[in-house]
Structure 1
Amino acid sequence: MAKRFVRGWPKVHRLAELRERLDSGEIESMEPFGRAMTRALENARFDPETGEAVWIEEDYCSPPLAMERAEVLDDYFEEITIVEEDVDEAAGWRQIDDLPGLWAQVLDEA
């Protein structure tokens, strides 16, 4: 299993909808990636220097995040970039732990 360090610009006007889909359990029920994606997006951070959302996501796809992008991510983020394809999950989260949470930052501004 690979962990990806991901960055993407949030489509701020659409994030309330994404938050509703996460809260309702809709995304969590998507197989095979829903639980991992839900956990990653709920813990996503906001990089105020770049305006990007950043997170660590479990992924088995080739190309990386193919299913996740097709089903969810491309609807809510632009220019999604895999910064690191095989990151240690704990180390990856530590790299962004000091950034503000995505949801508090972006939904407050929307």
Structure 2
Amino acid sequence: MANRFVRARPVQERLPELRERLNSGEIESFEPFGSAMTRALNRARFDPETGEAVWIEEDYCSPPLAMERAEVLDDYFEALTVVEEDIDEAAGWRQIDDLPGLWEQTIEGTA
């Protein structure tokens, strides 16, 4: 298993749908990645300097996040980049902990 440090530009008009899918448990039910993706996206941060969502996600794919991108991520994010392919999860979250939450800055911030 590896933890990926991810940056991606959210497609603003699609985020309410993603939030609904996360809240309903739909994405969490996807095997084998749904639970890890749900945890990561719920904790995702927003980088106001770049306008990107940032998060740390547990991943087993090669190439990184292949299944996640095909099933979910490419529908809601553009320019997705794995900044670091194998990062310590706790250290990665500490790097972005001071950024505002993605959901507060995007959906709630534009309502």
Q: Percent identity?
A: 81
Q: CA deviation at 1:33?
A: 0.1
Q: Distance in 2 between matches of 1:46 and 1:34?
A: 21
* Large movers: runs of 4+ above 3 Å: none
What aligned pairs does 1:1-20 form with structure 2 within 5 A after superposition?
A: 1-20=1-20
**What is aligned with 2:36?**
36
Q: Distance in 2 between matches of 1:4 and 1:103?
A: 20
Q: Tell me the number of residue pairs that the alignment of Structure 1 and Structure 2 aligns.
A: 110
Please give the TM-score of this superposition, normalised by the length of structure 2.
Answer: 0.98
**What is aligned with 1:57?**
57
Q: Distance in 1 between matches of 2:14 and 2:67?
A: 20
Give unpaired runs (5+ residues) of structure 1.
none
Q: Distance in 1 between matches of 2:21 and 2:62?
A: 25
Give unpaired runs (5+ residues) of structure 2.
none
**What is aligned with 2:23?**
23
**What is aligned with 1:90?**
90
Q: Once superposed, what is the RMSD of the aligned Cα atoms?
A: 0.6
